[in-house]
Amino acid sequence: MTTTAATSQPMCLPTAAAAKPVCALKCEAEQTAYASAAEANLLAVASLQAPSAPVDAARAPLELVAVLDRSGSMSGQKMTLMKQTLNLLVTRSGLQAQDKLGIVVFDDKVQIALPLTSMDEAGRRAAKLAIDAVCVGGTTNLSGGLMQGLQMLCQSDEAAREQADDAADGGAKPEDGKDAMDYAWNWAAVQLDNGVDITAAVLVDPKDQSIMETRTVVVGAKSEREQYARMSLEPVGEQWTSCRTFRTYPLAWILKIPEANTELEITACVDDQEFMMLIAKPAFWEGRCDVRGTYKGQEVAGLCYIERNGFDEMPQLMDFFKAVGKTVRKSVRHMYPDQPTKAQVRDLIANEDTEYYCQGVPPEILAKTLMEPVRVIADRGGKSWRSYGALACCNGSEIGRASCRERV
């Protein structure tokens, strides 16, 4: 005699009277029938399905790019689970018609399986077909897959910016071959201790660094105004490279106004005064500086506010990753020098208050056992974007050590 087990009993299903969608619980036993007189372990699976995500027309559109590893190590269950997850993303994650999904697959080669596609009904069908077609391939080119995914988003972002610019300008477009902002500038607002204020600006062609226009206005202590046609505002000396955008900015400028017998040296109070904004491609440097020099032959000092924007263009993604590698190597060399001084050894092991920890530590042994292995790996180059973590660690350590001696 046998008894039949229930194989699929839906529970908690929404009813006609339900005001809101509810979840659905489904239970399924391993076998369809069990002997009534025998004791047995019953294996069953219970699945809980949430209701479809509500449509939120108020939120901003999304752009998602899934970068899929289809190398040999992803065979079997890994590939199955990845495809199931992506299908859930397409069908049940709340993506709306205004959202876009792109799919990049990589093994030893990188391919775009699905360009950025609107997630309407047709787009969802295309996405499911692209996911089902993913199969196991060869070896792993992780950096290539990542860069292709980033490139897809960067291209979409640039197209969106151009559309926004056109709309803001009433539909007007820049001339063929011209960027919407085809110039760069250095701008300074100076307040001297003798009551004189100076505003100076230089527009520069970023392609050949030629001067397009200069403007200088001087307001005296009694509010008298003077304007000078000839001036220069040139960056000099040390430069600083951002660990966020890998743009390089000067940290000092010389402002010369020959007709006013004026020469001022402007120096940044803090290196990192970079601002990242959508309208700044992708960032600019703007911040407080100290001023020393001569005004009409008299020694003066004061404060200045400098803005620098539009220089150091980096339009290609590969240029960005090259800059990452260059900055990583520079930062590691600074942190782990070839021949560390006593002060550098102290900063690695202790600090000024606990310098006694360095007693008995030979610098040459420290350099050989600790610094040299790291330097060998960092200086070797290649796939430098993976070393971004090392750069972040170096940068964080440097910030920590400098916190007590920051120039403010």
Pair 351, 268 in one domain: no
Q: Where among 142, 167, 192 does a domain terminate?
A: 167
d(CA 235, CA 210): 14
124 in a structural domain: yes
Pair 162, 271 in one domain: no
d(CA 121, CA 127): 10
406 in a structural domain: no
Q: Where among 309, 344, 359 does a domain terminate?
A: 309
214's tokens: 């200069």
Measure Cα distances from 382 to 27, 69, 131, 315, 334 in Å: 53, 20, 31, 21, 19
Pair 138, 40 in one domain: no
Those residues with Cβ within 8 angstroms of residue 65's Cβ, 6 or more apart along the chain or in another chain = 101, 102, 103, 104, 116, 149, 152, 153
d(CA 50, CA 70): 30
Beta-sheet strands, E only, within 209-278: 211-219, 225-228, 232-235, 239-241, 248-250, 252-257, 262-268, 274-276
213's tokens: 């226009």
pLDDT of residue 395: 59
Pair 188, 305 in one domain: yes
Reported as a single tens digit per residue, the pLDDT across 175-187 is 444 444 578 889 9
371 near 349, Cβ under 8 Å? no
387 in a structural domain: yes
The pTM (predicted TM-score) of the whole model is: 0.47
Q: Count the domains in the chain.
A: 4
8 HSE (CA, 13 A, CB side): 0
Reported as a single tens digit per residue, the pLDDT across 66-99 is 888 888 888 888 888 899 989 988 988 788 888 8
Reported as a single tens digit per residue, the pLDDT across 224-269 is 999 988 899 999 988 888 877 778 899 999 999 999 999 999 999 9
Q: Where among 136, 167, 198 does a domain terminate?
A: 167
Domain that includes residue 238, residue range? 184-309
157's tokens: 């972002």
9 in a structural domain: yes
Degrees to nearest 5, angle at CA 288 with 395 and 267: 80
352 in a structural domain: yes
**Residue 299, burial from CB neighbour count under 10 angstroms (0-12, 13-18, 19+):** exposed
Rounded to 5 degrees, what are φ and ψ at 105?
Answer: -120, 145
Those residues with Cβ within 8 angstroms of residue 178's Cβ, 6 or more apart along the chain or in another chain = none
- Residue 404 forms beta bridges with which residues? none
Residue with tokens 């970068």: 67
259's tokens: 């007709």
Pair 301, 373 in one domain: no
- Alpha helices per DSSP H over 93-216: 121-132, 142-168
Pair 31, 136 in one domain: no
Q: What is the CATH number of the domain that holds 100?
A: 3.40.50.410
pLDDT of residue 372: 86
- Average pLDDT, integer, range 309-330: 72
Pair 105, 141 in one domain: yes
Pair 114, 226 in one domain: no
Pair 224, 142 in one domain: no
Identify the residue with better confidence: 224 or 324.
224
157 near 121, Cβ under 8 Å? no
Q: What is the CATH number of the domain that holds 260?
A: 2.40.370.10
Those residues with Cβ within 8 angstroms of residue 150's Cβ, 6 or more apart along the chain or in another chain = 317
297 in a structural domain: yes
Pair 368, 262 in one domain: no
pLDDT of residue 355: 86
222 in a structural domain: yes
Reported as a single tens digit per residue, the pLDDT across 107-158 is 878 888 899 999 999 999 999 999 998 888 876 666 666 777 777 777 766 5
344 in a structural domain: yes
362 HSE (CA, 13 A, CB side): 4
Pair 193, 296 in one domain: yes
Identify the residue with better confidence: 103 or 43.
103
Pair 161, 196 in one domain: no
User: How much of the chain, in percent, has pLDDT values that exceed 90?
Assistant: 23
Report residue 199's pLDDT band, with 50, 70 and 90 as the boundaries: very high
